Structure 1
Amino acid sequence: MDIAVPVKNLGPVDVAPLIKAVLAQDEASWFEQDYRQKSYDVHKETSSIVMIFCDDEWPNVSTFKDKGWDKLESALMPTINRIIAENYPAGGTILRAMVARLHPKGRITPHVDAKPSFHAGHRVHIPLVTNPACRFTVDGRPYKFEVGQAYEINNQKPHSVINNGRDNRLHIIFDYMPKGMNEEDDGSSR
């Protein structure tokens, strides 16, 4: 969603229980759902544990619980729901929720999220593990995303990530679409 600024800090998050739950996952969990890596070249140096995903049949988007739901729902969803309640109008839909891992020396090349659901949904990142050699860039400006904070990014601006560190970078990422954002404008509200 175009939020008029490149990045918005949504405030502090207690990440200790989230980190514990994510680090407890076995290596195979990171490769159970590889749709993003196979469908989008920019994500080829990542792996994910996907909890919620959508079919992107706009405007009638359907969401479904994916393989990561049973593994991480009890640990992650209270935090995701709290961030939504504190920052966005009630009654919307979580389109996507996952933990994304950017491998050491990995890159997510500059891109704009183009599908219609990305125009309608707020893209939120919760850093769990990062390092000083990891840089997130939005609209040509570098940002240091700190563990213990949540951020909304403007995914309608070019954004990229580089992890020059020796360890994986782990972020919870979710997209929240406020109620009514996928309704087609027939002009009756004017």
Structure 2
Amino acid sequence: MTTDPLPSANLRKTRGVRHLGPVDIAPLRDAVMAIPQAVWREENAGKPNRFEALGETRHMVFRFVDSVLDWRRSHDRSAWPQWRDLVEPVLAQAVASYGYRQAAFPRVMLAAMPPGGIIHPHIDANLAAKWPHKIHVPILTNPKVVSFFGGAPHYFPPGQAVEVDNLGPHWVRNDGDTDRVHLIFEYYDTEQAEPDWLAKPAGDTVG
């Protein structure tokens, strides 16, 4: 008997970077560029994702999981009604290639990294991050933004959706002089069989 504190991830998730193709971000980009700094500060102050590795990155969180132990239950946050019509078309285009008939988006947010900002090396260790695909759509960026996923550095250009490996070590650095703003979200197939470990408390012994 051995202890498995980090149960097996969804085998459908990428182990590196999966390029999902171009997405029309123009309406969303225009709205993001118009967000007042006071609104960014207010949304960031109330965000539920307070992780030290995120550094000075600010967030506007539209949807979030009820518990970081389970991706199956999530809720809309106060900003979602205002942004839904702009964000949902981007989500739909980004995930079209997966072909899931019934799917869910447990976490959806904008993440703004200032010039000189760093997201420190980390893995998304909470159980709710182990099953859904983790997808980025760059909205505003610059060529000096370095995103390290799957063991290699990458530049993700605006409007090109990518799935990234959030369970391996990853980090981001903005060496440019403009903000890097990504739409970041999770996505999973609700018809996919759930893992056996889901019903077990974290740290249960397994054979």
TM-score interval w.r.t. the shorter chain?
0.7 to 0.9
Give the TM-score normalised by the residue count of structure 2: 0.81
Corresponding position of 2:202: none
CA distance in 1, matches of 2:78, 2:109: 10
- Secondary structure in structure 2 of the residue aligned to 1:55: strand
| Runs (4+) off by over 4 Å | none
Corresponding position of 1:177: 188
Q: CA deviation at 1:117?
A: 1.6
- CA offsets 1:21-65 (integer angstroms, 9 cap, x no match): 2112222322323332xx310113111111111122544742111
For residues 82 and 140 of structure 1, do their structure 2 counterparts lie closer, same or farther at Cα, with a shift above 3 Å needed? Answer: closer
CA distance in 1, matches of 2:22, 2:179: 22
Q: C-alpha root-mean-square deviation of aligned residues, in Å?
A: 2.0
CA distance in 1, matches of 2:155, 2:171: 12
Alignment partner for residue 98 of structure 1, among 97, 109, 121?
109
For residues 104 and 46 of structure 1, do their structure 2 counterparts lie closer, same or farther at Cα, with a shift above 3 Å needed? Answer: same
Q: Which runs of 5+ in 2 are unaligned?
A: 1-9, 198-207
Following superposition of structure 1 onto structure 2, how do residues 127-166 of structure 1 map, counting pairs within 5 Å? 127-166=138-177
Would the aligned equivalents of 2:16 and 2:149 in 1 still touch at CA under 8 Å?
yes
Following superposition of structure 1 onto structure 2, how do residues 99-138 of structure 1 map, counting pairs within 5 Å? 99-138=110-149
Corresponding position of 1:34: 47
- Secondary structure in structure 1 of the residue aligned to 2:105: strand
- Secondary structure in structure 1 of the residue aligned to 2:96: helix
- Secondary structure in structure 2 of the residue aligned to 1:165: coil
Q: Which amino acid aligns with 1:175?
A: E
CA distance in 1, matches of 2:71, 2:15: 28
Query: How many positions carry a matched residue from both structures?
Result: 184
Q: CA deviation at 1:184?
A: 4.7
